[in-house]
Structure 1
Amino acid sequence: MKASETATTKATSTPENDVTTLKKETSYHIANTPELAQLPELPNGCEAVAATMLLNWAGLWVTKQQVADALPKGEMPYVNDDGAFIGSNPEKVFVGDPYDAGYGIYHAPMAETLNQLLPERIVDMSGSTFEQLLKTIQSGTPVMVWATEQMDAPFLELEWQDEEDQLVEWYQPEHALLLTGWDDAYAYMNDPMTGKEEAYDIAEFRSVWESMGSQAITVK
């Protein structure tokens, strides 16, 4: 089923020649997507909640706590006996604890976890273009995306080394959401922080999504 589409024409005139033109405005929206909040149970579990909304939409009844429990987890950054600042890598595990102190998890280990819960239906479309992201919504399928809270510009908060001596760069305020629609001005997302659908400036969303690595997971 495709997303519902609405198209309107809006008359505009140019002051120079007073010629009226018609501009088509199109919007796509996926109805009846679950709306879940991460608070109070999962203060750092936005990824688990966004993923739960995607799984519930796909027909798998699972709770946000079950998804959070299924995630692979690793240690928060700390200073070891040699004075080195080390910790786990969000490209492999959830850094910390979604129920307590934690940072988060990126697309690859999240997709692997979701594939265990919903085998052969998970699509990791990270690295896709923004146009491909919007076309997925247009086809009627929501997408879990990595962005920031309120679409604030991401900033580098911490750097550390993982167990394999790889540099980890953590950008804040990292946030995962479920993309459910878009139009000429806004991207619509079920936001785990508020527990409801929010509208964010689509250009700002694109900039933040691409800055956070163009990470996205959907279902087929």
Structure 2
Amino acid sequence: MKGSNSKKSASKTNITKPKNKKFIINSKNTVKLNVKAISQRPELPTGCEITAFTMMVNHAGGKGAKVTKMQMAKEMPRSSNPNKGFIGSPYNSTGSAIYPPGLKKMTKKYTGSYKNMTGATINQIKAQLKKGKVVMMWGKFVYWNINMSHTVALTGYDKKGFYYVDPMDGKKKHLSYSQMKYHYNQLGKRALSY
């Protein structure tokens, strides 16, 4: 976001707080989006993607400003191909995955645009966050000593790494750049924004 000429727009630490309140911090080296954290559990044990999606569209505003994970889970397309829809059911352990192309129609409906960021570089992801847009990231994460496919909502970055919300427990967390690259590379560098 471009700074304004107003002396009142930035504090002594060069933190800009835009009027739309999408940012907590938007400075040269740090971006933190004001994203409401949501947990997928207990209702959606395999619904990490749609929970991260719900956080993304709620933050985007517009039609997605007040959607719930349960509304989105019901609307999410189903298919045997994760590029077309969710495999199985997010309501139980049969659920598997949905990839960015499978969420294209819903992303356009609720945010007005769609950006499949699969294959994006770290700098491209940071640039998207700098614009105030949440980025969903697919990766492999370890839970209960199992390396499993999982999707998180990236919500910012600093000099050390990325901020994100983990749908598994609905908590705000931080990943170093090396950790993020590891998780991101494990599942084909899949990412989605708008």
TM-score bracket relative to the smaller structure:
0.7 to 0.9
Quote the offset at 1:187 in angstroms: 1.3
Give 1:99-178 correspondences, 5 Å limit.
99-100=91-92, 101-115=94-108, 117-118=109-110, 120-150=112-142, 173-178=148-153
Aligned match of 2:32: 29
Map of 2:69 onto structure 1: 64
Match of 2:164? 189
DSSP-derived class of the 2:30 partner = strand
**Residue in 1 aligned with 2:191?**
216
Deviations 1:35-90 (A, max 9, x none): 0000000000000000000110111211101111112223xxxxxxxxxxxxx221
After alignment, is 48-57 or 106-115 more displaced? 106-115
SS class of match (1:149)? strand
Q: SS at 2:98's partner residue?
A: coil
Cα deviation, 1:144-187, whole Å, max 9, x if unaligned, reads 11123359xxx9xxxxxxxxxxxxxxxx5111111011122231
- The amino acid that maps onto 2:37 is E
**5+ unaligned residues in a row in structure 2: which ranges?**
3-22
Pair member with larger Rg: 1
Structure 1 position 122, deviation (Å): 2.4
1:124: how far off? Answer: 1.9
Amino acid at match of 1:135: A
Aligned to 1:98: 90
Contact 2:166 2:173 in 1 (8 A): yes
Instruction: Please point out which of 25, 43, 46 is paired with 2:45.
Output: 43
- How far apart, CA to CA, are the structure 1 residues paired with 2:156 and 2:171? 13
Alignment coverage as a number of residue pairs:
168
Determine which structure has the larger strand proportion and give its number. Answer: 1
Query: Which residue of the partner structure matches residue 182 of structure 2?
Result: 207
**What whole-Å deviation, never above 9, does each CA across 1:175-204 have from its counterpart, x for those lacking one?**
111101112223110110111211122211
Name 2:17's counterpart in structure 1.
none
The 2-side partners of 1:107 and 1:73 are apart by 13
The residue type equivalent to 2:170 in the other structure is: G
Q: TM-score, normalised to structure 1's length?
A: 0.69
TM-score by length of 2: 0.77
Instruction: Give the whole-Å Cα distance in 1 for the aligned partners of 2:111 and 2:129.
Output: 22
Give aligned-pair identity as a percent.
33
Return the offset for 1:119: 5.9
The verdict on how the C-alpha distance between 1:203 and 1:119 changes in structure 2, with shifts beyond 3 A counting, is closer
